[in-house]
Amino acid sequence: MRLLFTALLLLLLVSLNAFLGTRLELGGAPLPPMGRFLSPQEGFWRNAEPVAAKRPAELRLSGLAEAVQVAWDESGVPHLFARNDSDLYRAQGYVVAQLRLWQLDFIARAAAGRISEVVGATALEFDRGQRRKGMLLGAERSAAALAADSIMGPLLNAYADGVNQYIATLRYRDLPVEYKLLHYRPEEWTPLRSALIQQYMVDNLSGWDRDVEDTHARAILGEPLFELLFPERPPGVVPTVPTDKPWDFVPETVAPPPAYDPGAGFTVDGQRSDPTNGSNNWAVHGSRTESGSPLLANDTHLGLNFPPIWIPMQLATPEHRVFGFTIPGACGVIIGHNEHAAFGVTNAPRDTRDWYRVTWQDERRLAYRHNDAWLPVEHRVEVYKVRGDKPFTDSIRVTHLGPVMYDEHFGQAPARAQLALRWLGHDASLTQKALYLMNRVKDHAGYVEALRYFEAPAQNWVFASTEGSIAMRVQGRFPNKWKGQGRFVLDAADPAHAWQSFIPHEHNATQVDPERGFVSSANQHSVDEQYPYWFYNGHLEYYRNRSVNNSLAEQRPWTVQDMQALQHSGLDLRSREGLAALLPLLDTAALSADAAEVYRLLRSWDHVVDHQREEEALFQLWFDSTRTALWQPLQKHPLPLGEPTAYNTIRILADSSLRHTVEQALGVDARALVQSTFVATVEQRKAEGSITWQALNNARVMHLARLPAFSLENLPVNGSGTAINAQRGNHGPSQRFVVELSSPPKAWFQLPGGLSGNPGSPRYDDLLAEWHTSTYRPVHFLSTARQAADQGFAITTFKP
């Protein structure tokens, strides 16, 4: 009996230990193996970084030709000093992994459509969408092109080796806490995974179109009403690169085919990127600055996440030294400055995603019409490992144009089975090589040469040099389209509908030292109608760009502080113009006392967003409900038609003749609905007591795994989606950077988070509080590790 009891106790002990080492799911929520997770010797407690922790003085990094020194400044920014490029990027890989391993690994997994391996079947639809739109396809092609490049091939290998040597030092207990929570291990890094992160950015910044909505809208509304609601280029637009002198090249021609009616019944792609991913950048000529040196500013608007997408760092060899912002997985920096020049990016929206209607030979959908023949589809077989489930196999039809994303096995709508996707993201891109050259740029000619390799995602590259030159270039590999090509669904059978050629690099829109004394960009139309190639995108920016230009047009001696203040400007032109259109439509005699109070509040407002006040919130509630009500007739249609932009909505409301046209066509009464939405907004305010912008906006930085415990919400930010300080919800300036092009250049930066990706580190979010004020950190642009040591910065020496 006692023996049995003892045996039972032993069994209990063993099972308890086994249980505590097992990952569980409670009501769908994963629970880490609690014994492992709670053990202070190997669980999450090991990630509680001592506040007073010191950096190791020495680490081993095999494969180095010579020692590399890393100085850590007071913001936690690493400064790498190497003797050659290979050592530099090997150390960069190691340091980025030290700071951000989980993020690095997770983004590459997301890009490759491999999240279900970690979280199970809930992510399978997402993963399939990623691979079906050709994420892996594009990344594989870029990786092959980069591997074949004599400069980038070896350097990306060195970077990967640096990451892998760091991973090799990690036992379970040393893993980032996210691995312990989700219970999996980091995967080996490869140059393909670096290409996947490049692909992730291409998707983030060009993975959007509205071809299907526009195709339906044109067919249903008719050409004139469609063009009124969805104009290519509404009045009042100022492009990134205006034509201020004749274009000095002969454009290559492309012949338009006869008109084509693709029919209707398509369903919209449900996995598009956020079209508001964008940015601001500008440079002011030295003739207009107080110091006489050019000034350059850049802030990039992306999802606001922990860890931040950007890592500020300095990289130096005897041949060059550059400070700037890198993303995990990339060699070098993307935005930054060296001893000679500064450079930065904003997204340059362009239509580089087109859908083609496929005519199948029969129901098996194994061949499709092209010209007068039937072409067989290729099948790309994708296998998905699914946590807690058996692997899932998917077969994707690939046409000569690209993959058929939706078919009878994927997506809600069988009708979509007829569309093949052609996306610039399917093509190989040597973007990494452009960054390599840009990090070493010496002058304007070098900038143009570096950008020759910058193919995707298309960006407005701002430039300023210590020699005094400023420039803007709309850079990417752009298909040379006939007017209208790809705005609507195209015909896969007609060779003239395919992209026939690309605009030569030399013909990309560019502006150098313009008379106005500044260059700027903010995701607006890239060019005007005098540019010899057809330009189109379905989502462009209409407000920030004009705020920047209006400010920079002021004649005054511009300073670094002015640039910083401008990056934080909360002036919202959309609110100003929206109110100018909406307020006169109200019947003020009919307003209640509460409504009259709101009316006075909005009328006397200076349109500068203040998070503690109500005006921006009241305007947005009113305007959004007006917009929804006005375009309700479009939404009631069974086919998706899209919604006119805010800019065009305001233009129509402000102009009585346009308004009447729309009222008659859609059967709405604009005045009546503006009045009723205003009353509803006033009622909502009354019910809630008050509605501050801070409460409505809920500015927040979310952990990538969407864990609220690792996120920060309800931040006090004086910005909005259409102010230069383009912050709304979980989206906004993901870094800010200002450079004065003195010799050597001086720079300042902000980051919404911290350098460390570890939620247990004091450097996880230590820079965030400054990000929503106008306090900037000065950049230490160091010459040597000795100089860093003299300033008291900790030094880690990587020894071969």
Partner 1 sequence: MRTLLAALINAALAYVLGLWLPYWSLSLAALLVGFLIHPGGWRAFVAGLLGAGLLWGILAWSADSANAHILATRIGTLFSTSATGMVLITAALGGLLGGLGVLVGDRVRNAVS
Instruction: Using CB atoms within 10 Å of the CB of residue 241, give its burial: 0 to 12 exposed, 13 to 18 middle, 19+ buried.
Output: buried
- For residue 706, state whether it binds partner 1 (rule: CB under 8 A): no
Q: How many CB atoms lie within 10 A of CB 555?
A: 7
Please pick, from the candidates 49, 149, 232, 394, the single residue that binds partner 1 as defined by CB under 8 A. Answer: 49
**Contact characters 574-603, partner 1, x per CB under 8 A:** ------------------------------
- For residue 700, state whether it binds partner 1 (rule: CB under 8 A): no
- For residue 42, state whether it binds partner 1 (rule: CB under 8 A): yes
- For residue 468, state whether it binds partner 1 (rule: CB under 8 A): no
Pick between residue 419 and residue 701 the one whose CB is nearest to partner 1: 701
Q: How many CB atoms lie within 10 A of CB 682?
A: 22
- For residue 769, state whether it binds partner 1 (rule: CB under 8 A): no
- Using H for helix, E for strand and C for coil, what is the string for 510-568? EEECCCCCEEEECCCCCCCCCCCCCCCCCCCCCCHHHHHHHHHCCCCCECHHHHHHHHC
Please pick, from the candidates 1, 51, 373, 593, the single residue that binds partner 1 as defined by CB under 8 A. Answer: 51
The answer to whether the CB of 342 falls within 8 A of the CB of 296 is yes
What percent helix, strand, coil does the chain show, rounded to 5? Answer: 40, 20, 40
Radius of gyration of the chain (CA): 28
**Measured CA angle at 528 (ends 508, 624), to 5 deg:** 115
Instruction: Tell me the closest approach of the beta carbon of residue 39 to partner 1, in angstroms.
Output: 4
**Contact characters 233-272, partner 1, x per CB under 8 A:** ----------------------------------------
Please pick, from the candidates 754, 759, 785, 788, the single residue that binds partner 1 as defined by CB under 8 A. Answer: 759
Closest CA to 441 of 468, 475, 465: 465
Residue with tokens 């058929």: 404
Pick between residue 5 and residue 253 the one whose CB is nearest to partner 1: 5
Residue with tokens 């350098």: 755
Please pick, from the candidates 22, 23, 45, 225, the single residue that binds partner 1 as defined by CB under 8 A. Answer: 45
Instruction: Tell me the closest approach of the beta carbon of residue 181 to partner 1, in angstroms.
Output: 8
In 66-93, which positions are buried (b, 16+ CB within 10 angstroms) versus exposed (e)?
A: ebbbbbbbebbbbbbbbbbbbbbbbbbb
Pick between residue 23 and residue 400 the one whose CB is nearest to partner 1: 23
Pick between residue 76 and residue 162 the one whose CB is nearest to partner 1: 76
- For residue 175, state whether it binds partner 1 (rule: CB under 8 A): no
Give the interface segment with partner 1, choosing from 190-198, 208-216, 278-286, 757-765 (CB under 8 A): 757-765
Give the interface segment with partner 1, choosing from 39-47, 504-512, 725-733, 740-748 (CB under 8 A): 39-47
Instruction: Tell me the closest approach of the beta carbon of residue 6 to partner 1, in angstroms.
Output: 4
Instruction: Tell me the closest approach of the beta carbon of residue 172 to partner 1, in angstroms.
Output: 7
Closest CA to 281 of 540, 566, 575: 566
The answer to whether the CB of 491 falls within 8 A of the CB of 511 is no
Please pick, from the candidates 61, 177, 192, 653, the single residue that binds partner 1 as defined by CB under 8 A. Answer: 177
Query: Could you tell me the two tokens for 82?
Result: 């190497």
- For residue 174, state whether it binds partner 1 (rule: CB under 8 A): no
Q: Which residues contact 42 (CB under 8 A, 6 or more apart)?
A: 36, 171, 172, 173
Please pick, from the candidates 44, 226, 247, 360, the single residue that binds partner 1 as defined by CB under 8 A. Answer: 44
Instruction: Tell me the closest approach of the beta carbon of residue 62 to partner 1, in angstroms.
Output: 24
- For residue 761, state whether it binds partner 1 (rule: CB under 8 A): yes
Query: Could you tell me the two tokens for 222?
Result: 């008719």
- For residue 48, state whether it binds partner 1 (rule: CB under 8 A): yes
- For residue 172, state whether it binds partner 1 (rule: CB under 8 A): yes
Instruction: Tell me the closest approach of the beta carbon of residue 16 to partner 1, in angstroms.
Output: 7
Give how far the C-alpha of residue 529 lies from the chain's centroid of Cα atoms, to the nearest Å.
27
Binding interface with partner 1 (CB under 8 A): 2-3, 5-6, 9-10, 12-13, 16-17, 20-21, 34-36, 38-52, 172, 177, 181, 707-710, 759-762, 764
